[in-house]
Amino acid sequence: QQQVKQSPQSLIVQKGGISIINCAYENTAFDYFPWYQQFPGKGPALLIAIRPDVSEKKEGRFTISFNKSAKQFSLHIMDSQPGDSATYFCAASLNTGNQFYFGTGTSLTVIP
């Protein structure tokens, strides 16, 4: 079964707007929650990541919000730009293992 559930599947945002992508997980042993960005025909690249001991992490226009009690985390892209148009994946990894569990991805389109 899907260890990490991601929504929405696709998202269209106006330039300058806020893009929000949500993920939920069940396994409380997960201790690392990254977001990856993928452009067409390329491999994903790490965008930003968070650990469960903090509720928010911000890097430039990208922010992760983490709600440990709800077992949810989200990516916020402020002032969205057409260059942000890509597929975004959330993921989680266990504190005792080497596997990463990915969400199903969100295709973001930012229209000028």
Partner 1 sequence: DGGITQSPKYLFRKEGQNVTLSCEQNLNHDAMYWYRQDPGQGLRLIYYSQIVNDFQKGDIAEGYSVSREKKESFPLTVTSAQKNPTAFYLCASRTARGTGGADTNANEKLFFGSGTQLSVL
Site residues, partner 1 (CB under 8 A): 6, 9, 32, 34, 36, 41-46, 49, 51, 89, 93, 98-100, 102-105
Residues 81 and 19: their CA atoms lie apart, in Å, by: 10
* Smallest distance from partner 1 to CB 104, Å: 4
Six-digit token string for 19: 């893009």
Q: Which is nearer to partner 1, 17 or 102 (CB)?
A: 102
Q: Which is nearer to partner 1, 19 or 36 (CB)?
A: 36
Q: Which is nearer to partner 1, 72 or 104 (CB)?
A: 104
What is the identity of the amino acid at 20? I
* Smallest distance from partner 1 to CB 17, Å: 24
DSSP string, 6-32: EE-SEEEEETTS-EEEEEEE--TTEEE
* Smallest distance from partner 1 to CB 49, Å: 6
Give the single-character DSSP code of 52. Answer: T
Partnered with residue 64 across adjacent β-strands are 57, 75
